[in-house]
Copies of this chain bind each other. A is one copy, B any other.
C-alpha cells in the first residue's frame, strides 16, 4: 500500500504581532489553501487541527473551532497537540485517515496568537510541577539552547561568529518572503551588537514568538489525479517517534537527563529524521532543501547533523562554505526559518511544509531552490515530541 498523499493546497496568514484572534489567522490560511487547491470547503471531509494552549477552549479544540468558523458541514474532525510538533501530528493524522481510505481530502490547520508580555508560570508554590521547579531555581528557556550551543563550541570548536552566520544567512533568505515577520538583512555586526541573553547566545540568536496561521489541503493520490493535480508534491514520510530510554539530552523543563546505567544513552533528535528516511526509502544525499527548527541559531547546526546532511561537527564548516545558502549544495531554511518568522507554535510545522510545497512546485520566487525535488523538515517540541516530514515530487 502506498504511504504517499498529495499536497494540493498551501496557505499562510503572514506572521507578525497582529493582535487578532487565532481563528481569523487560521481561516484566512485555510481559504488561501482551498483557493490554491481549487476546491470547495464542502469537498473537505476531514479537518485536522493543531491545538494552541494559549487561547482557551477554542484553542484546545482547534479542529472544531476552524470547522465551525468555516461553516459546519459534517466533516470529521481531529485536534492534535504535541507542543512544537503539533502541526506535524495534525498532518500525520490526516495522512493516516486518507491512507486508511476514510477520507479523500483533508484540511490541516494551525494558528496562534501569542500573549502580550512575558509568558509567566501560574502562581503559588508548586513543587510537583517540573516547569515551576526549574524556574524557581533559575533555569529559564534560553538556558537549554545555550547549553547545546556551548557544547558545540567546546566539542567542535564552533564560534559565536558561526552562530551569527546562521542568522545572517536566514535573514537574507527571508528578506523577500511575504509571509515572514522580520524582513531585514541583518549583518554580523547587528548580531554581535545585540544583547547577550544566555551566553553564548545573543538576542538575535534566539527566536521570538509570533502570531500566524498555516494550512494545507492534502488528499489521496487518486483524488489529486482526478482533479488534474497528479504532479502535486507528495508527503513521502512523517516521523513522530518518541524518545527511547535512556534519553541523553537534557530537555526543557527537566533538571536532569535519564540515567543511562541500565540502558544505553540515546539521541532523540537524530532518531526523528532517521525514521523519516526509512519510511520514504531515501537518504540524506537525496535531499534538495531542508526546513529546520532554528529556535536558536546554533540549533540549526545541530539539526544539519541530525539530518545527516554532514558528519557530526561539520555543520559550521558547511555553513561557512555557503553550502546551506540558497544556491549552495543543500540550502537550509530558504523561508528564512524561525529567525525571520518567530515561532507560532501550532502553525510552525505546517508552515515548514507550506514552504517545501512551494519550493517543490518552483513557486518560491527570489528564494527558489533551483530544481528542488526532495525536501525535509525537522522540529522538536517539549515532552518527547518532535517530527520530521519528507516531501517529494
Binding site for B on A (CB under 8 A): 1, 3, 47, 51, 53, 56-58, 60-61, 63-65, 67-68, 71-83, 89, 92-93, 95-97, 99-102, 129, 131, 239-245, 247, 258, 271, 382-385
Between-chain CB contacts (< 8 Å), 7 pairs: A53-B60, A61-B383, A68-B384, A72-B247, A74-B271, A76-B241, A76-B242
Residue of B68, B76, B244, B385 touching A77 (CB-CB under 8 A): B385
Quick one: which of A96, A271, A383 has the most chain B CB within 10 A? A96
B61 lies within 8 A of A83 (CB): yes
| Min C-beta distance of A29 to chain B, whole Å | 19
Residue of B67, B73, B95, B244 touching A72 (CB-CB under 8 A): B244
B382 lies within 8 A of A100 (CB): no
Q: A57-B382, A64-B383 are in contact. Are A79 and B81 (CB under 8 A)?
A: yes
Q: A56-B129, A81-B81, A101-B3 are in contact. Are A242 and B64 (CB under 8 A)?
A: yes
B89 lies within 8 A of A245 (CB): no
B95 lies within 8 A of A93 (CB): no
A77 lies within 8 A of B3 (CB): no
B242 lies within 8 A of A67 (CB): yes
| Min C-beta distance of A279 to chain B, whole Å | 8
Q: A64-B242, A382-B57 are in contact. Are A77 and B82 (CB under 8 A)?
A: yes
B71 lies within 8 A of A245 (CB): yes
Residue of B3, B76, B83, B244 touching A240 (CB-CB under 8 A): B76
| Min C-beta distance of A125 to chain B, whole Å | 15
Report the bound CA distance from A94 to B51 in whole Å. 19
Q: A64-B383, A75-B241, A382-B57 are in contact. Are A96 and B89 (CB under 8 A)?
A: no
A100 lies within 8 A of B93 (CB): no
Residue of B58, B78, B83, B101 touching A93 (CB-CB under 8 A): B78
| Min C-beta distance of A97 to chain B, whole Å | 5
Q: A80-B79, A101-B99, A384-B64 are in contact. Are A131 and B57 (CB under 8 A)?
A: yes
A60 partner residues in chain B, CB cutoff 8 A: 51, 53, 81
Report the bound CA distance from A100 to B239 in whole Å. 14
| Min C-beta distance of A203 to chain B, whole Å | 26
A82 partner residues in chain B, CB cutoff 8 A: 61, 63-64, 77-79
A100 lies within 8 A of B1 (CB): yes
In addition to A64-B385, A96-B100, 12 A-B residue pairs with Cβ atoms within 8 Å of each other are A3-B101, A47-B242, A57-B383, A61-B383, A68-B384, A72-B243, A77-B82, A77-B385, A78-B82, A79-B82, A96-B97, A96-B99
Report the bound CA distance from A95 to B101 in whole Å. 11
| Min C-beta distance of A100 to chain B, whole Å | 4
Chain B residue with the shortest CB-CB distance to A49: B81
| Min C-beta distance of A177 to chain B, whole Å | 31
Report the bound CA distance from A247 to B67 in whole Å. 13
B383 lies within 8 A of A65 (CB): yes
